[in-house]
Every structure is written in C-alpha cells, then in structure tokens.
Homo-oligomer: A and B are copies of this chain.
Amino acid sequence: MENAQLSHGCDLLLPDCTEGGSPCFKAPQVTGVRVQLEMQALWQQFDQLGTEMIVTKAGRRMFPSFQVYISGLDPAADYVLLMDFIPVDDKRYRYAFHSSSWLVAGRADVATPGRMHFHPDSPARGAQWMKQTVSFDALKLTNNLLDDNGHVSVSQMILNSMHRYQPRFHVVYVDPGQDSQLHPHRNFCSFIFPETRFIAVTAYQNHRITQLKIASNPFAKGFRNTDPEDW
C-alpha cells in the first residue's frame, strides 16, 4: 500500500448518541462509508499559506472546489449528499500586511443562519454516487442574504467576511421504511477535512494566495506571468 491515500471512515458506534438509555448505532447503510478528498495536495498547498475564499454579493465558486470520491455505500440504497460550513471559532480576523499574517480583530459578528447545501443530484442511488467523483462546483459563497431577485438561492452559502470556516460533508441514508421510528439509529455520516478550512474575504489579502490561485485555476490564466521566476 505505497501510494495509498488516507480516506475517512465512519465509526459504527456513536458513544455520544443515546436514546432511551441504550447506545445508538448507525444504520448499516452508512457504517462502511469511506470518503476521499480530491485535489488533496492542492488543498494542502493553500492551507499552508492560509486559504482565502472570495465571497461576493452574486456568489463566488470555491477554488479549489470541494470534490470527493465515495465508496462503501449500499449501491441500491438512496442517499442525500450535502455540505455545510461551520465557524472554526468565534473570532473576527484582519490581515496585517506589514507582517503578512492574520490577526484576531475581535469577536465574531452575528452568525448567519447555517444553511445546508444539498448536492443537486440528491437523492440518488449509492451506485450513482460511487461511479465517479462527486463535485460541489455549483456551490457558491456569498455575503448577501438575498440573491438578485430577492429570493434565497439554494446554491448560495452565506458566510461572514473575515471569519474562518470549516466545510463539512454529510452522507444521509434515505430510509424508505415507515417503521424507522421503531428502530432508532443514526442514518447519516459526517466528514471533515481540516485542509479545506479557509477565511472568507471580499478581496484577497495574502499575495501568495492570489498567486497560487492564479497559478492553479484555469479561469485565471489571463493573469499568469510568462516569467518563470515568479514561483
């Protein structure tokens, strides 16, 4: 197993989850789920510099985009896949250009309602989700509570600029049974990849982040230098 990549798994027993005094087990459809982050090396490169993600009123895609390879699902069962973003702490940050570092600038602003982003193909069979990489590239980050039409858009995740966030990924088994109440169990699995943490910004602060975005995002090719000494 030389070139093997670490993939996250889902534990069978959840000690913190009890119902009626007895421990609560996960549904068999989610016990063996394994999730692997795509473009992990690139995520780590950004993370080492302190990843920044632009938020705009109209909504901005993430780069790198959140993509996972999933295995261990029940091919015939239905699943909903979704993402959310949780605050890493209750702080507000600002960037000190002279020292090229992030400083705490006070307590967090009032948290926006924690919205869930359903993958647009949800719900779908395990077989469908596993046959190729699942991409959340329709997801957009915004600092606006309403879209241009004054409506909430399902693909827009509302974040506070200058706050730090951790993306989370959830696999939810859709139980077709009517008697699922009688057999309580957790029907979902959550996954956190620490290297996907980022600070939301309205404009890039760290020049190294800007340069790495330009170097790695095909849509920013127009800003690349032919100069080979830059990186």
Residue ranges of A at the interface with B (Cβ–Cβ < 8 Å): 121, 123-125
Q: Residue of B at shortest CB range from A122?
A: B128
A-B contact pairs, 3 of them (CB 8 A): A121-B121, A123-B125, A124-B124
Q: How far is the CB of A135 from chain B (nearest CB, A)?
A: 14
Bound together, the chains give a CA A123 to CA B76 distance in angstroms of: 11
Q: Within 8 Å CB of A124, what residues of B?
A: 124
Cα–Cα, bound, A123→B124 (Å): 8
Which residues in B have their C-beta under 8 angstroms from that of A121? 121
Q: Closest residue of chain B to A125, judged by CB?
A: B123
A194 to B121, CA, bound (A): 32
Please measure, in the bound complex, the distance between the C-alpha atom of A54 and the C-alpha atom of B123, giving whole angstroms: 36
Neighbouring B residues of A125 by C-beta, 8 Å? 123
CA distance A125 to B121 in the complex (A): 11
Instruction: Output the least CB separation between A111 and chain B (Å).
Output: 31
**A112–B123 Cα gap in the complex (Å)?**
36
Nearest B residue to A124 via CB reads: B124
Chain B residues within 8 Å of A123, by CB:
125
A123 to B125, CA, bound (A): 9
CA distance A121 to B128 in the complex (A): 10
Closest to A76 in B: B176
| Bound complex: CA A130 to CA B124 (Å) | 16
